[in-house]
Amino acid sequence: MEVSKIRQLFKKYMLGHSSGPENQLIEQWYQSFDAATLPEMDEAEQQHIKREMWLNIQPQIEVAKTFYLTRGWKRAAAAVLLLAGAGAAWYLLNSHPRVTWTTYATRTGERKTIHLNDGSIVMLNAGSTIRIPDNLSKERKLDLVDGEAFFDVKTNPGVPFIVESGPLQTTVLGTSFNIAAYKEIHTLSIGVVSGKVSISGKASSAHILGQNQELVYNRSNGQIKVSPVDEQLPGWKDGKLVFNDVTFHDMVILMEKNFGITITTTQEHVRTTRYTTELPTDMAPEKAAQVLAAIHHLKVRTINQHTVIYE
């Protein structure tokens, strides 16, 4: 329906001069927006849309009040809702075109290199998942859903490179950095190899990290620690699994991600031990478990396809 005709019908509808068929036509046109498929948006985009919709709808509500005090208040209210609904639908469908994503995932022991169309490179560690927009020309915002990735970012001052990783957001203009954000591990770390990044979170102020600095976020209590980056970061790019004073729980998760083996223990002392070692990721899983145990003066046996570590 042409816009000019719609306006004429609205005017007649609000003044109570429209016929039954015209009323039905307007109502059908309004109901058609309920069936429209809206674009996918994250929470921040939804909140932005809501604010803009309210700013547009609020003045029309004042118009409705005026009609309420004069005449035809039911028709006026319906027309205002009709205009608001039509405007909101148009805004959603035209001002915010649908963003399409491609999801990349790696299996146990698998690593993958992704060349982005903006010239940047993403290296994905084992057992990881990342979502990347298909069009990076206007917005470069990636979502590291789970796991670890190394980013070598192509400089583009006009379009910052942003990585969402759970509770933290990392923003850069051009640099290389590593994010370890496995959901099952209690800490989330971001280490800068070159350049600078800005890291922000929902419950913390922004942190600026320079070259060879690392931020570690504790998921349990929200505490943040900034320290010199581990010299082995990111060792996994060179085919090494590096443990630097990690808990038993984190060691078990990373051994499973990299070697596909499940490690357990029945001894509290083994469970409270901190683990530090370096293992080639192309090592046989059984051998890797044996080396890990030997370094910490422990023993290994296999029971029902589970690798048990004990004293």
Model confidence at 27, in pLDDT bands (50, 70, 90)?
Answer: low
Lowest mean pLDDT among 109-113, 140-144, 149-153, 169-173: 169-173
The reported pLDDT for the residue numbered 138 is: 85
DSSP, collapsed to helix, strand or coil, labels residue 126 as coil
258-277 residue pLDDT tens: 999 999 999 999 999 999 99
The reported pLDDT for the residue numbered 230 is: 77
Residue in 220, 236, 244, 209 with CA at minimum distance from that of residue 147: 236
Q: At what angle do helices 3-15 and 73-90 cross, to 10 degrees?
A: 160
The reported pLDDT for the residue numbered 31 is: 60
**Residue type (1 letter), 87:** G
Place of tokens 């443990």: 243
The reported pLDDT for the residue numbered 258 is: 95
Among 48-52, 202-206, 286-290, 301-305, the range with the most confident prediction by mean pLDDT is: 286-290
d(CA 70, CA 43): 40
Average pLDDT, integer, range 125-151:
95
Other residues' Cβ atoms within 10 Å of the Cβ of residue 17: 11
Domains defined for the chain, CATH in brackets = 3-95 (no CATH), 101-228 (2.60.120.1440), 239-310 (3.55.50.30)
DSSP 238: G
d(CA 188, CA 301): 31
In what helix (H) or strand (E) does residue 213 lie, and over which residues does it extend? strand 213-218
Asked if residue 154 has pLDDT above 80, the reply is: yes
The reported pLDDT for the residue numbered 22 is: 72
Asked if residue 112 has pLDDT above 70, the reply is: yes
- Mean model confidence pLDDT for the chain: 81
Average pLDDT, integer, range 231-244:
87
More confident residue, 256 or 39: 256
Asked if residue 13 has pLDDT above 70, the reply is: no
More confident residue, 305 or 282: 282
d(CA 247, CA 264): 13
Cis check: omega of the bond before 234, within 30 degrees of 0: yes
Place of tokens 């547009």: 56
DSSP, collapsed to helix, strand or coil, labels residue 107 as coil
Instruction: Name 14's Cβ contacts closer than 8 Å, sequence gap at least 6.
Output: 67, 72, 75, 76, 79
212-222 residue pLDDT tens: 999 999 998 99
The reported pLDDT for the residue numbered 205 is: 76
Measured at the CA of 178, the angle between CA 227 and CA 285, to 5 degrees, comes to 105
Residue in 166, 171, 213, 206 with CA at minimum distance from that of residue 187: 166
The reported pLDDT for the residue numbered 231 is: 73
The reported pLDDT for the residue numbered 19 is: 75
Share of the chain above pLDDT 70, in %: 70
C-alpha pair distances (Å), 240 with each of 75, 76, 137, 282, 303:
71, 70, 35, 8, 27
* Chain CA centroid to CA 218, Å: 18
Asked if residue 6 has pLDDT above 70, the reply is: no
